[in-house]
Amino acid sequence: MAGVLQELLQALRPWGQAVLDLVFPPRCQVCGAADAFPLCGECWARFPRISWPVCDVCGRPLRGPPDLVFTCVPCRRRREPLRVRAFGRYDGPLREAVHALKYRGKLGLVEPLGRGLAEVAAQDPRLSGVDAIVPVPLHPRREGQRGFNQAEELARVVSVQLGRPVRKALVRVRDTPSQTELDEDQRRRNVREAFAVRGRVDGLRLLLVDDVVTTGSTLGECAAILRRAGAEDVYAVAVAMVVPDA
């Protein structure tokens, strides 16, 4: 009897989905276009992707031929430079997509944005060949308010695409104020000692995942604490990067 009921429910599922689609048409979670859940082709095409050349360390766009390999001056001065790559600029429809995911809980966007992250990581063997993927953690209070950690959701998609496990090797031990209105020095002080390592990371090559990189302060602090705990190499990838106007 249970088997017959299961078969009946399976047969009726497409009809139920059709009714739901009629009442609540699937729409693009960015622009609202009908029949394009979770993301329409136009929004995907309009994402302002970051193309080569980029700084070999921070990943910010450079002027020059696509095969240019160059480290920008600020990165040459950094004590512990962190190799970062980003899918696109934090602008236009990509900014809207990040906001829709992060602040409006449009979790359907996790899949396409995560695939974009995986594409970027796959371009660099150092990023794609890591031992594990580490999401940048939220403080438990903030994650409880939001109901999810967008970096962790994205990391799961990257994990599937790259065939590398997710490892929640970091915890946020201090609930820091929002960084939105802070300059680079303030951001760096704001996240100092805000994270702790959970478990052993000795000798591991790790890929940090986050939604947005602005000055790199958060990713830099995460990388520094993982290195101090014994990680062999730490890299980072983000959906979007804030790129100052030239």
Residue indicated by tokens 């160059």: 70
72: phi then psi, degrees, rounded to nearest 5: -65, 160
- Paired strand residues for 207: 133, 235
Q: How many CA atoms lie within 13 A of 4 on its CB side?
A: 1
Q: How many residues in the chain?
A: 246
Q: What is the tens place of the pLDDT at every residue in 112-121?
A: 999 999 999 9
String of DSSP letters for 24-57: S--B-TTT--BT--S--HHHHHHS-B--S-BBTT
Res 174: pLDDT:
85
- Using one digit for the tens of pLDDT, what is the confidence trace for 16-70? 433 434 445 689 999 999 889 999 999 999 999 999 999 999 999 999 998 898 9
Q: Within its chain, how far is the Cα of 230 from the centroid?
A: 24
Structural contact between residues 167 and 132, judged by C-beta atoms closer than 8 angstroms: yes
Q: How far apart are CA 64 and CA 53, in angstroms?
A: 7
Q: What is the DSSP letter of 163?
A: T
> What domains appear along the chain, each with residue ranges and CATH number?
80-241 (3.40.50.2020)
- Both tokens of residue 68? 């240019």
The owner of tokens 């992060």 is 102
Residue 192: per-residue pLDDT:
75
Q: Are 174 and 135 in contact (CB under 8 A)?
A: no
pLDDT level of residue 108 (50, 70, 90 thresholds): very high
**120-173 pLDDT, tens digit each:** 999 999 999 999 999 999 999 989 999 999 999 999 999 999 999 999 999 998
- 50 backbone dihedrals φ, ψ, rounded to 5°: -90, 120
What is the reported pLDDT for 150?
96
CB atoms within 10 A of CB 104: 10
The per-residue b/e assignment along 166-180, b for 16 or more CB within 10 angstroms, e otherwise, is: bbebbebeeebeebe
